[in-house]
Chain A
Amino acid sequence: MTASATRTPEIGENTVELRARLHAIWQTEPGFKEFFTTVDHKEIGLRYIVTAFVLLALGGLEALVIRLQLAGPDLHVLTPEQYDQFFSMHGMTMIFLYASPILSGFSNYLWPLLLGSRDMAFPRLNAFSYWVYLAAALFLYVGFLTGNGPNDGWFNYVPYAQKQYNAGLNQDFYSLGMILLGISTSVGAANFIVTAFKMRAPGMSINRLPVFIWGTLTASVANLLVVPAVSLAFFLLWLDRQFGTSFFQTSGGGQPLLWQHLFWLFGHPWVYAIVLPAMGMVSDGLPIFCRRPLVGYSLVALSTVATMILGFGVWVHHMFATGLPALSLSFFSGASIIITFPSAVAVFAWLATIWTGRPVVTTAFLYFASMIVLFVIGGVSGFMTASVPVDWQLTDTYFVVAHIHYVLIGINVFPVVGATYMWLPKMTGRLLDETLGKWGFWTMFAGFNIGFLPMHLTGLFGMPRRIWTYSAGMGWSTLNLITSIGSFVFAFGVLIFFLNVWKSLRTGAVADADPWGGPTLEWAIPSPPAPYNFAVIPTVASRHPLWEGQLDESRTRSTLEQGMVLDCGKETLTTTPLDAIPERIVPMPKDTWAPLLLALAISVFFVSLLIQSWPLIALGTFWITAALIFWLWPRRSLLERPAAAEDRMAHG
Chain B
Amino acid sequence: MSGVPLGYLSASGDRAAAVVPLTWYMIVVSCAVSLIILALLVAGVVRRRIRDHSTQVNTVEVTRSGQGMRWIVIGLLVSAVPLAVSLIWTMTALAAVVGPPNKSALVVDITAHQWWWQIDYNGKSPSQHFTTANELHVPVGRKVLVRLHSGDVIHSFWVPRLTGKTDVIPGQTNLSWLKADRPGTYFGHCAEYCGMEHARMGFRVIAQPEAQFRAWRARQLQPAAHPASALATRGHALFHYRCSLCHTVRGTNAASRMGPDLTHLMSRRTLAAGMLPNNRGALAGWVDNPQASKPGAHMPNQHLTGPQLQQVVAYLETLQ
Interface residues of A (CB under 8 A from B): 79-81, 84, 152-153, 157-160, 165, 250, 254-257, 288-293, 295-296, 299, 321-323, 326, 329-330, 333-334, 337-338, 340-341, 344-345, 347-349, 351-362, 369, 372-373, 376-377, 380-381, 383-384, 386-393, 395-397, 460-470, 473-476, 514-517, 519, 544, 547, 550-551, 553
Contacts and interface: CB of A to CB of B under 8 A. Distances in A.
A373 B38 contact: yes
Given A291-B60, A360-B55, A393 B8 contact: yes
B68 A384 contact: no
A466 B37 contact: no
Interface stretch (B149-157, B227-235, B251-259, B301-309): B149-157
Interface string B166-206: 11011110110000000000000111111111110000000
Nearest to A345: B72
A260 to B, nearest CB: 9
A257 B38 CA distance: 40
Contact of B160 (A254, A462, A473, A476): A462
B7 A288 contact: no
A373 B90 contact: no
A70 B204 CA distance: 24
B144 interface: no
A454 to B, nearest CB: 14
A393 B50 contact: no
A463 B6 contact: yes
A469 B199 contact: yes
Contacts of A390: 19, 22-23, 26, 90, 93
Interface string B8-45: 11000000101100110011011001100110110011
B69 A389 contact: no
B4 A373 contact: no
Given A80-B196, A256-B171, A461-B4, A550 B152 contact: no
Given A355-B44, A462-B7, A373 B37 contact: yes
A475 B3 CA distance: 6
Nearest to B169: A256
B62 interface: yes
B102 interface: no
A357 to B, nearest CB: 7
B48 A359 contact: yes
Which 5 A-B pairs have CB atoms at the shortest separation, nearest pair first?
A392-B164, A462-B6, A517-B58, A356-B66, A295-B68
B199 A250 contact: no
B246 interface: no
Contact of B67 (A356, A474, A475): A356
B282 interface: no
B295 A347 contact: no
Interface stretch (B75-83, B120-128, B312-320): B75-83
B63 A550 contact: yes
B245 interface: no
A359 B6 contact: no
Given A354-B48, A373-B41, A392-B165, 18 more contacts: A165-B195, A256-B169, A296-B68, A321-B166, A333-B91, A338-B83, A349-B68, A354-B45, A357-B65, A360-B57, A373-B34, A373-B38, A384-B27, A388-B94, A389-B93, A389-B98, A392-B19, A466-B198
Nearest to B2: A475
B57 A369 contact: no
Given A340-B79, A376-B37, A390-B22, A475 B4 contact: yes
A381 B30 contact: yes
Contact of A159 (B70, B87, B153, B189): B153
B71 interface: yes
B76 A348 contact: yes
B289 interface: no
B90 A333 contact: yes
Interface of B: 3-9, 16, 18-19, 22-23, 26-27, 29-30, 33-34, 37-38, 40-41, 44-45, 48-50, 55, 57-72, 74-76, 79-80, 83, 86-87, 89-91, 93-99, 114, 152-154, 156, 158, 160, 163-167, 169-172, 174-175, 189-199, 295-296
B296 A80 contact: yes
Given A354-B45, A354-B48, A358-B60, A464 B72 contact: no
A250 B194 CA distance: 17
Contacts of B91: 330, 333
A456 B280 CA distance: 39
Contacts of A347: 37, 75
Contact of A464 (B7, B23, B66, B190): B190
Given A288-B57, A380-B34, A323 B164 contact: no
B4 A474 contact: yes
Nearest to A253: B171
B69 A323 contact: no
Nearest to A300: B72
16 contacts: A81-B196, A84-B195, A160-B193, A321-B167, A321-B192, A323-B167, A341-B83, A355-B66, A356-B67, A389-B164, A390-B19, A396-B165, A397-B191, A462-B6, A474-B5, A550-B63
A462 B27 contact: no
Contact of A354 (B44, B50, B74, B153): B44
A288 to B, nearest CB: 7
Contacts of B7: 460-462, 475
Nearest to B29: A380
A390 B93 CA distance: 9
A210 to B, nearest CB: 16
Given A383-B26, A517-B62, A369 B45 contact: yes
A293 B64 CA distance: 6
A345 B76 contact: yes
Contact of B197 (A80, A291, A334): A80
A393 B193 contact: no
Nearest to A295: B68
A551 B72 contact: no
Given A159-B152, A296-B69, A354-B44, A341 B58 contact: no
Contacts of A380: 29-30, 33-34
B61 A256 contact: no
B314 to A, nearest CB: 29
Contacts of B158: 464
Contact of A353 (B30, B68, B114, B195): B68
Contacts of A356: 65-68
Nearest to A476: B4
Contact of B194 (A160, A351, A515): A160
A393 B19 contact: yes
Which of A295, A372, A381 has the most chain B CB within a 10 Å cutoff?
A295
A395 B29 contact: no
A468 B45 CA distance: 42
